Amino acid sequence: MKPQGLSNAITPTLLAIAFSLVLSSCSRQQGLSAKQLPDFATNNGPLSAQQAQLQINDSEFRALSDETLAYFKKYLLDNMHPRQTAIQLRNLIHSPAFLNFEYAEDKTYGAQQAYDKTQGNCIAYSHLYISLARQLGLKAHYQVIESDPTMVLRDKKISLFIHVNAVVPLSNGHSFTADTVPEQQHLIKRGQIISDNSADALHYNNLAIDAMFKDDYLTSYRYLAKAINLDSQLSLLWSNIGALFRKNQQLPAAELSLHNSLALDPQAYPALNNLAVLYQQKNNSVKIQYYLNKIKAYRASNPYHHYNLALLAISDEDYPQALKAIKKAIRLKSDEAEFYYQQSLIYQQLQQLVQSREALMLAIVNSQDKKRLCAYQKQLRLLNQQMTLQKP
């Protein structure tokens, strides 16, 4: 998914996470509405949320052509059991002999575009699968997976990625889940079903973040206004638009939006970070400390926080500090393959090849992703060659 923006930390221990991609919380608190969204300041005067969202054309992300639907129908038998239809549809999407869909985390497409390009992120995949499933008579829904977030460093900015997939309710309380990575079906955790409007809001959220990365703040505001109009109860949308207002030097609007995010989810980590950064900008030491304490309590046992500190240290070429941080992440979560892989890379930079190989082996043992496993194995072969050449 994609989820992005702050490059600086308030203190050496504060990691400011600016943006959430896809979803950071499903918490709901009725009362907030798009009418509470402040205007956006432009060179031509203020732009209201209502005006902004009308400047984005409505999109039917689940629309498919007759030709696309016919392509799938010719490979599906009539009168199949719903579970068999759901499984066969997933297989057709993934099979190299048919669509051969490939996961691409930075491609937020609608269903037809995902089919045409045979790739996309989890939102794009879910649009495609759900659209086809419904056309085939299945009651498919979007769901957000309750799992640890994936945080990714991009241009020294941290993004929080959360996973979305498709679920098909079946008889007797059972269900079938279709995911971008079918090899990980057994790892899929319990999810929360969300509405089509929420899924569409997440789609616009991703487009907003892409625009923000390009410093196109006006377009980003338009997309976020559209998203909040679709679902004003998603905490991450208010957090992201709060970050946008701060970047646009609209500090009161940023503060209001970030507090709206916390009203929906008191544990919204991106909002807590952005408020700490905001109050630093306003030189409010009391509130800075208040939010730093909340952040400290939240992240004390969060391995992904330490993982991201390691990534930031790597980007600064501070490999001893990176190693210290990644070891903390591993102590908190010892079955995360990516932690061991980054540890292996750090050891390589420190010219500790034996330790690098040991870490890489642990990455391979813990990997549940076929593509990453292949990448780890390739890296191991290269490392073995390097170690062989260095033998006296």
pLDDT in tens, 327-379: 999 999 999 999 999 999 999 999 999 999 999 999 999 987 777 888 899 99
Provide the β-strand partners of residue 152. 159
Instruction: Name which of 292, 260, 325, 301 is nearest 148 in CA terms.
Output: 301
The residue with greater pLDDT, 211 or 145, is 211
Note the pLDDT of residue 28.
Answer: 45
Q: How confident is the model at residue 187 (pLDDT cuts 50, 70, 90)?
A: very low
SS (H, E, C) the chain: CCCCCCCCCCCCCCCCCCEEECCCCCCCCECECHHHCCCEEECCEEECHHHHHHCCCCCCCCCCCHHHHHHHHCCCCCCCCHHHHHHHHHHHHHCCCCCCCEECCCCCCCHHHHHHHCEECHHHHHHHHHHHHHHCCCCCEEEEECCCCEEEEECCEEEEECCEEEEEECHHHCEEEECCCHHHHHHCCCEEEECHHHHHHHHHHHHHHHHHHCCCHHHHHHHHHHHHHHCCCCHHHHHHHHHHHHHCCCHHHHHHHHHHHHHHCCCCHHHHHHHHHHHHHCCCHHHHHHHHHHHHHHHCCCHHHHHHHHHHHHHCCCHHHHHHHHHHHHHHCCCCHHHHHHHHHHHHHCCCHHHHHHHHHHHHHHCCCHHHHHHHHHHHHHHHHHHHHHCC
The whole-number pLDDT of residue 228 equals: 96
- 87 phi/psi in degrees, rounded to 5: -70, -45
What is the average pLDDT value for the chain, to the nearest integer? Answer: 86
pLDDT in tens, 328-338: 999 999 999 99
pLDDT over 80 at 147, yes or no: no
Of the candidate ranges 20-34, 66-80, 264-278, the one whose mean pLDDT is the lowest:
20-34
Residue 8 has pLDDT above 70, yes or no: no
Q: CA-to-CA distance for 9 and 276, rounded, in angstroms? A: 10
Answer whether residue 207 shows pLDDT above 90: yes
| pLDDT at residue 34, as a whole number | 74
> What pLDDT is stored for residue 3 in this prediction?
37
pLDDT of residue 368: 75
pLDDT reported for residue 47? 95
Residues paired with residue 238 on neighbouring β-strands, in sequence order: none
Q: In whole angstroms, what separates CA 360 from the centre of its chain?
A: 25
pLDDT of residue 4: 31
Nearest to 85 by CA among 144, 135, 141, 143: 135
Residue 264: per-residue pLDDT: 92
pLDDT, one tens digit per residue, over 77-124 is 778 899 999 999 999 999 999 999 999 988 999 999 999 999 999 999
- Across 46-50, 54-58, 265-269, least confident range: 265-269
For residue 5, name the pLDDT band (cuts at 50, 70, 90).
very low
Which among 34, 69, 32 is positioned nearest to 50, based on CA atoms? 34
CA 277, 279, 284, 285: dihedral to nearest 10 degrees? -30
